[in-house]
Structure 1
């Protein structure tokens, strides 16, 4: 995938930056190689291309559930995310993942099912109060902060 994107980028870059050079007369490979080398060196020394590739690859994926979050972290680190986070929060990893899953499931009910409890019939919503919301927000903030710390330990 990266090779295809680099190939597309290179073709576009040559057309944009050296198009007039090619229009003048035919060129030999030895004349083209320094230009191509320069373009590739600039491209590979830039983080932009890598960031673009990562964004393109991950654009349609969701990273809300614990397994999906760990999968994303494995793209940049071999660390065992939930073990590291559990150590920092002094809680079992399974409890952290369970709490996150409950929050994500509730979020999905709100976003996709109008937060309606089917056991009470149409129109009855699941119970929610300020404490429940505050607890969820506090947990997510702590979780994100600790994931961030785990990622900082990579560098």
Structure 2
């Protein structure tokens, strides 16, 4: 932050955040909290949710499944050569959890 002038400091800060956002995914709950803390939103899980651990686990399950689908072709480790079943209600339920999470966090990010 050795930049001279307010505009140069703001540009440096924006560049720093843009670089971090381009290289990190911020999918896991603790990563989401870290990203929000970078911009001044502290302890988001315990602030936005009555049961922070439950909210974090719900998002973590979705992230784990997403990563399994993307990085492991969703193969079922119990039955090699098959994929883990996925029905439309699984996707709908996951969308509901993500939507509810975003709506709970959003008021603290303004």
Q: TM-score, normalised by structure 1?
A: 0.63
Q: Which runs of 5+ in 1 are unaligned?
A: 7-36
RMSD (CA atoms): 1.9
For residues 24 and 42 of structure 2, the distance between their equivalents in structure 1, rounded to whole angstroms, comes to 21
For residues 21 and 31 of structure 2, the distance between their equivalents in structure 1, rounded to whole angstroms, comes to 11
Deviant stretches of 4+, over 4 Å: none
Pair 1:138 & 2:92 matched:
no
Q: Which runs of 5+ in 2 are unaligned?
A: none
Q: Is the 8 A contact 2:45 2:52 kept in 1?
A: yes
Higher fraction of helix: 1
Q: TM-score, normalised by structure 2?
A: 0.86
Structure number with greater Rg is: 1
Counterpart in 2 of 1:73?
A: 36
Aligned pairs, number: 110
Q: 1:51 aligns with which of 6, 9, 14?
A: 14
Q: 2:66 aligns with which of 86, 102, 107?
A: 107
Larger RCO, structure (CA 8 Å, separation 6 or more): 2
